[in-house]
């Protein structure tokens, strides 16, 4: 999968595309952790181009969140389709991640 | 008119892409809206992943098969594997949704999602196979 990232001020915006599931979880995790270990500790994940996430994808986000938190960083999410938001809600991940409606809300929260 | 799909699935994670494509084609043909199609795809992906990663096939040639039927109101999924008897619905502990990010365990999510996104879920072991039946509404 494509894993674009851009920097806006101190915030690193991740823009995964397509699916985050068992077929690519390891690649996505590596992409995230490389950035975190490289010192990017304020992260917004923009879900506007993501159309599928499974428990393997949630697991990656949880591991990244643990790593970010261990370094006193922040990670928040934005622009998620309703049916994906439901996955976060039933998994209790909405208590772990702030999920913003729009990218601008996420940037405001993290800046 | 009802739609049906039958698949024999290779017991490997790389099979997930093809399974997803076939389910998407099925959901399109059955006119299942995107949010419901997503749930069907998700629960099947979780079941296949569980069998591949945790199934104890004990030297047998691993087999997974899937059949899906849709009558326009609900989707019925029958999933079978020939792994050792395992009922994910009674043998998997409930997820602790309250724990915070540092305490949250990494596992157990897949079965939780299957439970959450199915109206009915059951397991039986018949003819040497685990048979999981799930029913998900078309909304």
What's the CA gap between B11 and B51, in Å, rounded? Answer: 8
pLDDT (average), residues A84-111 = 95
Place A30 in a pLDDT band, splitting at 50, 70 and 90.
Answer: very high
| B101: nearest CB among A52, A65, A90 | A65
Looking at this predicted complex, what is its ipTM? 0.88
Q: CB pairs below 8 Å between A and B: how many? A: 70
Which of B27, B29, B60 has its CA nearest to residue B43? Answer: B27
pLDDT at position B139: 86
Select the residue of B16, B102, B113 nearest A69 (Cβ to Cβ): B102
| Chain B neighbors of A90, CB-CB under 8 A | 112-113, 116-117
How close B2 comes to chain A (CA, Å)? 25
Q: Tell me, what's the pLDDT at A1?
A: 60
CATH code of the region A2-110: 3.30.750.24
Domain boundaries, chain A: 2-110
**B100 lies within 8 A of chain A by CB:** yes
Task: For residues A45 and A69, give the distance between their C-alpha atoms in angstroms, rounded to a whole number.
Answer: 15
Q: What is this structure's pTM? A: 0.91
Contact of B104 with chain A, judged by CB distance below 8 Å, is answered with yes
Residue A26: predicted pLDDT:
92
Q: Which residue of B has its CA nearest to A74?
A: B101
- Cβ–Cβ under 8 Å, residues A91 and A59: no
pLDDT tens, B104-130? Answer: 666 678 999 999 999 999 999 999 999
Q: What is the pLDDT of residues B14-56, one digit of tens each?
A: 999 999 999 999 999 999 999 999 999 999 999 999 999 999 9
Beta strands in chain A (DSSP E): 3-8, 11-16, 18-20, 42-46, 50-53, 74-78, 99-100
What does the DSSP 8-state code read for residue B110?
H
**Rounded distance between C-alpha atoms, residue A27 and residue B117, angstroms:** 27
**With an 8 Å Cβ cutoff, are B45 and A21 in contact?**
yes
Give the chain B residue nearest A93 (alpha carbons). B97
Give B-chain residues touching A62 at CB under 8 angstroms.
101, 104, 106
If you ran DSSP here, which 8-state letter would residue A41 be given?
Answer: -
């Amino acid at each position: 999968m494509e894993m674009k990232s851009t920097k806006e001020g101190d915030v690193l915006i991740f823009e995964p595309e397509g699916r985050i599931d068992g077929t690519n979880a390891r690649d996505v995790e590596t992409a995230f952790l490389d950035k975190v270990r490289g010192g990017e500790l304020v992260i917004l994940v923009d879900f506007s181009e993501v159309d599928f996430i499974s428990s393997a994808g949630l697991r990656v986000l949880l591991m990244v969140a643990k790593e970010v938190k261990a370094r006193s960083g922040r990670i928040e999410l934005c622009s998620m389709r309703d049916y994906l938001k439901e996955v976060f809600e039933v998994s209790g991940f909405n208590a772990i991640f702030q999920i913003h409606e729009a990218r601008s809300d996420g940037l405001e929260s993290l800046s | 008119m009802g739609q049906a799909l039958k698949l024999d699935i290779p017991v490997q994670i790389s099979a997930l892409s093809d399974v997803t494509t076939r389910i998407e084609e099925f959901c399109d043909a059955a006119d299942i809206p995107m949010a419901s199609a997503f749930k069907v795809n998700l629960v099947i992906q979780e079941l296949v992943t569980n069998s591949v990663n945790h199934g104890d096939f004990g030297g047998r040639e691993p087999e997974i098969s899937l059949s899906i039927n849709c009558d326009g109101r609900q989707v019925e999924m029958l999933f079978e594997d020939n792994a050792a008897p395992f009922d994910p619905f009674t043998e998997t502990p409930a997820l602790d949704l309250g724990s915070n990010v540092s305490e949250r365990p990494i596992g157990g999510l897949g079965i939780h999602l299957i439970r959450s996104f199915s109206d009915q879920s059951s397991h039986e072991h018949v003819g040497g196979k685990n048979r999981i039946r799930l029913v998900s509404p078309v909304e």
